[in-house]
Structure 1
Amino acid sequence: MYLKIKRLIDIILSLIGLIILSPIFLVLILAIKLDSKGPVLFKQKRVGIHKTYFYILKFRTMRIDTPKDTPTHLLQNPDQYITKVGKFLRKTSLDELPQIWNIFVGQMSIIGPRPALWNQYSLIKERDKYGANDVPPGLTGLAQINGRDELPIDVKAKLDGEYVETLDFWLDVKCFFCTIVSVVKRDGVVEGGTGRIGNKEIANNKARNSK
């Protein structure tokens, strides 16, 4: 039942977001075009609900010669590929704004497990254990407010499973507002590695977020 209400909320909020943020979209599009060669939007094949595929949208933050289908945190020297405007977009998470369209058309939800790359087989397999591949992926979720890029795959999948198991309005509200705090503080953003946060730190993060 809640999934139907959740979808209605997604449609309303994403439509409002597209309208209100349209001036910001125009400014960012102009900045990207003036900064480097290439398209404004970056499309990437991701895993959606029930392991179907869709193309996630982002503002392009990297040069067009960047290795394809490789998570940024797995690149040996990601800074060499990130554009000047891209650094700002990534720091502020504004590069994620085009995903409002993915939400509006039903490929994503505002809150849910972050969609895996099509070739992140270990993460996809681990999520199967918790049913985390059977709900719409989200712009942000429980894993994103508990470590983001620093989380090892097994911990990330377990947190996604906890989200699916609970799946209620108040958890979505919590994830939404905690994400705003995380973006401002840049918690868990890693451009050159992953799985760096220890289990003790994860537990501390979860304890803080539950208060």
Structure 2
Amino acid sequence: MKAVVTGASGFVGRELVPLLAGAGAELLLVGRDPDALAGLFPGIAACGYEALAQRGASFDLLVHLAVVNNDADAPPETFFAVNVEHMLNVARAAQRAGIGRFVNISSVHALDERNVTPYAQSKREAARRLAGMEGIGARTVYLPAVYGERWSGSLSFLNRLPRSLAHPVFRVLAALKPTVHMRRLAAFLLEPAPGGEDEIILSDGQEQNLVYRVVRRAVDLAFVFAVAVLLGWAMLLIWGLIRAGSPGPGIFAQERVGRHGALFTCYKFRTMKQGTVQAGTHEVSGDAITPVGRFLRRTKLDELPQIWNLLRNEMSLVGPRPCLPVQRELVEARRRLGVLRLKPGITGLAQIEGIDMSDPERLARRDAHYGALLSLLLDLRIMAATALGRGRGDRTAGQAP
């Protein structure tokens, strides 16, 4: 591996360069002050941007770290000049050098369209412009809070704590917001030529974070207890209204695709007429929904019987909505993007954003984003949005968005 790295003098570069060099990569560091780079990384070649096209001619990869960060006190014009125009100039120089891979590093802040800071807007524009370039394999990689041997930014206070205390505190903080160790970015970059999406989110995930898993499970069980105690009478009333309103059972049991692709039985209050075809909601006529079912779907009360699935640990309050086995396109897209490693949920990020199963690829991509950004604060935001009326389920065929 022969890699060019721009902007190596920042925190990410200082952590990343030793990892790449330690893995045997031949590096060329590019910046406005080559002498300063040579002083930071003795023994590693360095040059200015004007020499990139010539010096980088035999290299395989360019990692673009040069950026005006979101904490910089600079006018919007500076953010766009550096984060967009300078990045494009570097990409063009990489094209002239014949470098086949170009990886633009960004922050997950740029993925949030509600974030209108100059940093986020400039990085979104940079990713859009880069995606339109031809003749180079370009990707934007989005990172949450990064750390390595040390922490930076809002986590830098951890550097002043004893290691025996810093790591437990970090685990608690990492449960609240997503993080990524620099080793994960280095491993991604060292892959020969990874295929897949143009936009990648790298994170540690929460699978190994005991704090996240314990709190999430405790919240699920607390919800089960609260619904059973406070709304048990309402569930009986709903069951009776369904039975009285149309022929058929009050509870609807349906096989769904769960974690790791395992099938499980999902329980809901019946909202459609008995004998309705087993298909995705978007494929079913709105006439199939009963009058009582229409109210239940609008208020999401039809989901209450899923407390049984929560109790059995087959589902969680928040996660990708479980689909039917016959929805093969969605199942395959979720498998390809790693979504099936996640526990399904009663509500999810895609649902509160109005993305339903009528667009399998888009839904699977957003589910994958949720999986990469897992955190207690994100789960809380999704639950709050759902409680305020967003994420009311899939639209039926012919129903307006």
Q: TM-score w.r.t. structure 2 length?
A: 0.45
Aligned to 1:209: none
After superposition, residues 7-26 of structure 1 pair within 5 angstroms as 7-26=217-236
Unpaired stretches in structure 2, ≥5 consecutive residues = 1-209
Q: Which of these two proteins has the greater Rg computed from alpha carbons? A: 2
Q: Kindly indicate whether residue 367 of structure 2 is the aligned counterpart of residue 160 of structure 1.
A: yes
Moved more, 173-182 or 47-56: 173-182
Please list every run of at least 4 consecutive aligned residues from structure 1 whose deviation after the TM superposition is greater than 3 angstroms: 186-189
Residues 1:39 and 2:249 aligned together: yes
Counterpart selection for 1:111 from 318, 321, 344: 318
Q: Deviations 1:66-100 (Å, cap 9, x if unpaired)?
A: 11x2122102x331x22221121122221111112
Query: What is the SS of the residue equivalent to 1:87?
Result: helix
Specify the code of the residue in structure 2 equivalent to 1:90: R
Cα RMSD (Å)? 2.0
SS of match in other structure, 1:54: strand
Query: What is the alpha-carbon distance in structure 2 between the residues aligned to residue 122 and residue 89 of structure 1?
Result: 28
Q: Which has the higher contact order (CA 8 A, sep 6+)?
A: 1
| Deviations 1:179-207 (CA, angstroms, capped at 9, x unpaired) | 12234xx767522159x87xxxxxxxxxx
Compute the TM-score of the two structures, normalised by the length of structure 1: 0.83
Q: Secondary structure at the match of 2:224?
A: helix
State the match for 2:286 in structure 1. 78
> After the TM superposition, which residues 150-189 of structure 1 pair with which residues of structure 2 at under 5 Å, given as runs?
152-183=359-390, 189=394
* Higher strand residue share: 2
2:304 matched to 1:94?
A: no
Q: Which runs of 5+ in 1 are unaligned?
A: 198-211
1:104-159 Cα offsets, whole Å, 9 max, x none, are: 22110000011111111111111123221011100001101111337621111111
* 1:32-82 Cα deviation digits (max 9, x unpaired): 111111111001110111110101111111111211x2122102x331x22
Alpha-carbon separation, structure 2, partners of 1:60 and 1:87? 10
Measure, in 2, the Cα distance between the counterparts of 1:49 and 1:187. 23
Number of residue pairs matched?
A: 191
